[in-house]
Amino acid sequence: MIIGIDASRACRARRTGTERYSLEIIRHLLALPEATAHRWRLYTDGTPAAHFFAPPQLDAQNVEIRVLPQRRLWTHRSLASEVTRDRPDVLFVPAHVLPFVLPADRLPASVVAVHDLGYHALPETHTRAQRLYIEASTRWSVQVARRVIAVSQATAADLQQHYRTPAARIRVVYEAAAAPVLVERAQIDAVRARYGLARPYALFVGTIQPRKNIERLLRAYAWLCRNTALAWDLVFAGAAGWLSDELYAEAAALDLAQQIHFLGYVPDIELPALIKGAHFFCFPSLYEGFGLPVLEAQSYGAPVLTSNNSSLPEVAGDAALLVDPTDVDAIAHAMLRLSQDEALRQQLIEAGYANVRRFSWEKAAQETLAVLREAAES
C-alpha cells in the first residue's frame, strides 16, 4: 500500500500541539514492524533533516520525502496538485485540512485527524477570518474523508453534534506524551537560572491566548498574593497567540512583575527540566480537544490542576485536581491546596505516572495504520 502523509506541520522548527502530534505519529508509524510492508510518501513544504522521520530499520526505498513548492494555500494548491497527479492508495492529513479538490472523487481515499472544534465552543477566541477558514476547511474535510480520526471521545461527540459526522466513520485514537527523558538536578537548576526563576513556581505551558483561560489564572494568582503569604511564582511558557497583548496588559496591571514570568516559547529541549522543576502544573483551559500538556506534566511528576470540561477529565483521569475554569475562586483555592497539601501532591504525582501509561504513541500508530487500511479498502 502506498501511504501519503501531509508532513508539513511535523517539519516546523517551533512545534506546538498539532505540530508535535504530526511529528510523533509519523515517527511511530514508520517505526512499526509492519511499516516495511508499505511505501510511504511524506509531503512537505520544506526539506527536513535527512534522519527526521525514517528510523534505521526502514530501507530508503520505503520512504520518499516529496518537497512541494512553498506558496500561499499550500494544502489546496501544491498538495492538491501532487496527490491528484500521482495518487497514493490513501492520504493521511494529521491536522484538520484535506486538500480542496473538485470533484471530490479526484482525491485519493483520505483520512483526516481532527483535534478540536474550539472555534465552535469559543468563537470569540478566534478572529472572524480564522473562524471562516477553519469552519469551511473542517466541514469539507470531514465530509469527504472516508475515515475521521478524533483524538478524544469529546472531539468525536463534537463532530457528531456540529457536522453530523456519522459515528461509523469516526475512529477515536488517543494521542500520548513523548517518552520522558531523564532530567538531572543540574538541568533543572540551569533552566531556572536561565529564566530567572529563583523561587518555587507553578507552571502553565501553552500558547498565550484567551482560550487557555490565562486571564482567570492571573486573577486567581493575584487574589492569592493579596490574601495569603505566597512563597511561589507563576510561570507561563508559550508563544504569544491571538489577543495575547491584552493578556500581557492584564498581567502588568496586577503589579506583580516580580512574581509572574512570561518566558515566551520554550524549546522542546528545555521543557522537561522546566516541568520537572515545577511545584505544580496549572492548565485551566476553557476548551481542549485533547490536552496534551496535562499528560506531559504527569509524565515528569508534576501534580496537575486542570479543567472539568471538554476532553480534560477524559485525559487527566483520576490524576488531576479538576476545577470549573470559569470560577476564579475555585482556581485560586485549588492552587492553594496544591501549594500546601504535600499528601495531595504526592497522591497526584503517583496517579499521574499511572495515568500516562494508558496512552502510548506506539498504540496510536498501530490504531492509525488500521484506520488507513480501512479507508483504503472501503
Cell 500500500 belongs to 1
Distance separating alpha carbons of residues 320 and 147, to the nearest angstrom: 32
Question: Looking at residue 134, which CATH number applies to its domain?
Answer: 3.40.50.2000
Note whether 3 and 41 are within 8 A (CB).
yes
Note whether 195 and 227 are within 8 A (CB).
no
pLDDT of 163: 95
pLDDT at 12 exceeding the cut of 90: no
Q: Say yes or no: 35 and 101 in one domain.
A: yes
Q: Say yes or no: 124 and 166 in one domain.
A: yes
Q: Say yes or no: 138 and 284 in one domain.
A: no
Q: HSE on the CB side for 150, CA within 13 Å?
A: 23
37-78 residue pLDDT tens: 999 999 998 867 655 666 665 566 788 989 998 878 899 999
pLDDT at 233 exceeding the cut of 70: yes
Residues 6 or more apart whose CB falls under 8 angstroms from that of 230 comprise 224, 259, 339
Q: Say yes or no: 314 and 264 in one domain.
A: yes
Partnered with residue 322 across adjacent β-strands are: 306
134-183 residue pLDDT tens: 899 999 999 999 999 999 999 999 999 999 999 999 999 999 998 899 99
Q: Say yes or no: 169 and 200 in one domain.
A: no
Q: Say yes or no: 195 and 84 in one domain.
A: no
Give mean pLDDT, residues 95-105: 90
pLDDT of 303: 98
Number of domains within the chain:
2
Q: Say yes or no: 51 and 196 in one domain.
A: no
Q: Say yes or no: 111 and 217 in one domain.
A: no
Q: Say yes or no: 170 and 209 in one domain.
A: no
State the pTM of this model.
0.90
At 290, give phi and psi (nearest 5°): -140, -65
Partnered with residue 34 across adjacent β-strands are: none
Q: Say yes or no: 152 and 226 in one domain.
A: no
**Percent over 90 (pLDDT), the chain:** 79
Q: Say yes or no: 172 and 282 in one domain.
A: no
At 107, give phi and psi (nearest 5°): -70, 145
Q: Say yes or no: 84 and 139 in one domain.
A: yes
pLDDT of 17: 75
Domain range for residue 155? 2-176+360-377
168-180 residue pLDDT tens: 999 999 999 988 9
